[in-house]
Structure 1
Amino acid sequence: MQKIILLLVLTTFNLTFAQQKKKQILLFGSFHFENPGLDVAKVNTFNVMTDKSQKELENITDKIKKFGPDKIFVEWNYQKQAKLDQFFAKNTDSLLKNDSDERVQVALRSAKKLGHKKLYAIDYNETDFPYDSLVKEMKVANQLDLIKKNEETMKNYETDFNAKITKYSLTQLLLDVNKPDLSWYLQTAIKGGKTDNFVGAFLVSEWYRRNLYMYALITKLTESKDDKIMVLLGAGHTEIIREFVEHNPDFEIVELASVLK
């Protein structure tokens, strides 16, 4: 009888534990290794193809393998998953030697080490980012202090990042960009325009919408059998997605620093 009671207690405990177990999500925020110059702030390119950086990438992806994500999500248009599948199927050695994109150097390299068959595209590109209109409406509204603050924010970011490139290792730089300051959106951009003009709020809402849609895809593509996942995006994206994840009791955030230590 005691054995039966003990068995029932253990079974109940295991069921409760299974219900409470959270999926671990590694939010890997990155800068763009192949800097396309499309961001508002213009920064220099960090060369990840040097022998030193390649050794670091081997170490980084070895630690990702040890973490063991069941799926890796990347900043690739979700409507072009088939193209990503074709890209994934290419000769890995050739890509690693010739393509500096972070989706190759981090995501693809990790996926191959893990024995994954694919990467998962989650980027949503049907949003607007009317930065030129924002600056124009600041001028129309004669928001001189805001214009100055905006210019100083962009300049300080460029100067700071470019300085770090000259003295940081790749690993140090990646850990650093995983602590982005997003206050520009909610303290500067959102104020742009006259009181009856909401170009700033529209820009911010579109930025959040893009990230919210990516988060929606993460939740849809994460299956019950997946215990761990990794999301590799620009650090500005992962920081906002972090806000969404923190309100989802199904997920537990794993810090990049804890994986790379």
Structure 2
Amino acid sequence: MLDLCKRIFLARRIRCSGAILLLAPILSFAQTSPAPVDVMIVGVFHMSNPGHDIHNMKVDDVLAPKRQSEISAVADALARFKPNKIAVEWSKDVVDERYPKYLAGTLPPSRNEVVQLGFRLAKVAGSKGVYGIDADGDFPYEPLKTYADAHGFGSLLKAQDDAIDRQVAEEERVLATKGISAELRLLNDPVRLKGGNAFYRTALRMGANDAQPGVDLLSAWYRRNFLICANLLQLSQPGDRIVVFYGAGHAFLLRQCVSETPGLRLVEANDYLQP
């Protein structure tokens, strides 16, 4: 009887030891895994009115004192996130040439959102630096429209365009009546961003057999956003806290890229922006 008890006791010790041995690598991995990268995507409107998009928002002078006060409040609010890097919709070369001038006070006044939001936040928050992550890309809309008009999809495409026009009108109203912070909150509402991306899925209906202008449009659009996200990932290091300022049309895909990438955590801009 005593020998049986010893055998049971020893068997339990062996199983327990095995569990400890199996658990040890897991604990070791947890202790040594890199710190996550927190990324806040801030979809923005084009403050300098470049008119480069199919649908363009009308913006008053952001250098006016009222708008400057609003932009300063936005920068202060986002600074609470404590970003150590700021990524913007300019090329690396342009940022590297202009940001030092901004810090030195020698950059000419600019209405561009990169300067007004990106450069300003980096200075206010004491960030490590500003990084240009833009990438060129085509947007073959005209072939899509030509196909749609010739194959009975004209009304479908017009309905999508009309919906975007209504969104732009709402953005102009919010900016005029509630200010820049409220406008940015509108642009970065996740539900609204998802709805805005519907155009690209609808475009896939426009085509047949070897003629696929909708696919061509999405392929070009997704490629550009993948390039942008690749630039973002390649500048990130464990423990970084990054704010990305980009045209709101890119926000849905950039948010998706961040949220689906291991090691990155998406931070909601609207948790920091004031109502």
Structure 1 length normalisation: TM-score? 0.84
What is the aligned partner in structure 2 of residue 138 from structure 1? 148
The answer to which of 61-70 and 232-241 deviates more is 61-70
Alignment of 1:85-164 (within 5 A): 85-92=96-103, 93=105, 95=107, 98-116=109-127, 118-125=129-136, 127-164=137-174
Give me the whole-angstrom Cα distance separating, in 2, the residues matched to 1:83 and 1:227. Answer: 23
| TM-superposed deviation, 1:34 | 0.9
What is the aligned partner in structure 1 of residue 260 from structure 2? 247
What is the aligned partner in structure 2 of residue 33 from structure 1? 47
**Secondary structure of 2:175's partner?**
helix
**Secondary structure of 1:98's partner?**
coil
Give me the whole-angstrom Cα distance separating, in 2, the residues matched to 1:64 and 1:163. Answer: 23
Give me the whole-angstrom Cα distance separating, in 2, the residues matched to 1:18 and 1:64. Answer: 30
Larger Rg: 2
Deviations 1:124-158 (A, max 9, x none): 10x21111111111112122432332342233233
Give me the whole-angstrom Cα distance separating, in 2, the residues matched to 1:200 and 1:104. Answer: 35
Gaps in structure 1 of 5+ consecutive residues: 1-11
What is the aligned partner in structure 2 of residue 175 from structure 1? 185
**Does residue 184 of the first structure (1) align with residue 184 of the second (2)?**
no
Give me the whole-angstrom Cα distance separating, in 2, the residues matched to 1:71 and 1:156. Answer: 35
Percent identity of equivalent pairs: 28
**Does residue 227 of the first structure (1) align with residue 240 of the second (2)?**
yes
Deviations 1:28-66 (A, max 9, x none): 111111121111113212432222221122222123333
In the superposition, relative to structure 1, how do residues 123 and 197 fare at CA in structure 2: closer, same or farther (>3 Å)?
same
In the superposition, relative to structure 1, how do residues 147 and 110 fare at CA in structure 2: closer, same or farther (>3 Å)?
closer
Structure 2 length normalisation: TM-score? 0.80
What is the aligned partner in structure 2 of residue 16 from structure 1? 30
Give me the whole-angstrom Cα distance separating, in 1, the residues matched to 2:209 and 2:155. Answer: 16
In the superposition, relative to structure 1, how do residues 167 and 111 fare at CA in structure 2: closer, same or farther (>3 Å)?
same
Aligned residues of 2:84 and 2:126 also touching (Cα < 8 A): no
Query: AA paired with 1:143?
Result: F
Aligned residues of 2:85 and 2:240 also touching (Cα < 8 A): no
Give me the whole-angstrom Cα distance separating, in 1, the residues matched to 2:159 and 2:35. Answer: 45
Give me the whole-angstrom Cα distance separating, in 1, the residues matched to 2:273 and 2:148. Answer: 42
| TM-superposed deviation, 1:227 | 2.7
Aligned residues of 1:140 and 1:193 also touching (Cα < 8 A): no
What is the aligned partner in structure 1 of residue 3 from structure 2? none
Query: AA paired with 1:106?
Result: L
What is the aligned partner in structure 1 of residue 14 from structure 2? none
Give me the whole-angstrom Cα distance separating, in 2, the residues matched to 1:114 and 1:98. Answer: 21
Gaps in structure 2 of 5+ consecutive residues: 1-25
